[in-house]
């Protein structure tokens, strides 16, 4: 009878010794683990020099990235803005002649405009994800 109890206890222990989930494995038992957000392309704009988008309404949480390259001897800079109504404003900047700038926006959900401010010899591509 004792052997049977030991085997039963061992089988119960084996049955409950499952591989822990990611929250437990990360040392946070009971923590809620969220999957990473999958960004979907919402709009793409391309141009040279300063520019303003038509009115758009991205999701409340959006991501806008501008990649750019300036060819002039004056160096370059990049300002990427989001301006929405009534009083929403976000901006990201870079003083470099080439690179990328990203807005990790939380003020979407209302109609507004993306704006690029840069030198006339700077070409750029803006991609908006939501």
What CATH fold (topology level) applies to the domain 41-129? Answer: Jelly Rolls (2.60.120)
Cβ density class 61-82: b for 16+ within 10 Å, e for less:
ebbbbbebebeeeeebbbebbb
pLDDT in tens, the chain (130 residues): 454 444 444 444 444 344 444 544 555 666 666 678 889 999 999 999 999 999 999 888 899 999 999 998 878 999 999 998 877 889 999 999 999 999 988 777 789 999 999 999 999 999 999 9
DSSP code of residue 111 = -
Q: Which two tokens stand for residue 29?
A: 């038992």
pTM of the complete model: 0.70
**Dihedral (CA of 3, 9, 11, 17) sign:** negative
> Does a cis peptide bond (omega within 30 degrees of 0) precede residue 86?
yes
* Domain-wise residue ranges, the chain: 1-34, 41-129
Scan for tokens 């405009």, then name that residue: 113
């Amino acid at each position: 009878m004792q052997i049977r109890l030991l085997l039963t206890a061992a089988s119960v222990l084996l049955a409950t010794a499952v591989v822990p989930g990611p929250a437990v494995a990360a040392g946070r038992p009971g923590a809620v683990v969220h999957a990473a957000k999958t960004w979907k392309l919402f709009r793409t704009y391309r141009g040279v020099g300063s520019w303003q988008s038509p009115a758009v309404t991205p999701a409340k949480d959006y991501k806008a990235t501008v990649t750019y390259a300036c060819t002039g001897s004056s160096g370059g800079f990049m300002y990427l803005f989001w301006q929405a109504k009534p009083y929403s404003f976000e901006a990201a900047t870079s003083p470099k002649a080439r690179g990328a700038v990203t807005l990790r926006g939380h003020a979407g959900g209302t109609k507004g405009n993306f704006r690029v401010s840069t030198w006339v010899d700077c070409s750029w591509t803006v991609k908006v994800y939501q």
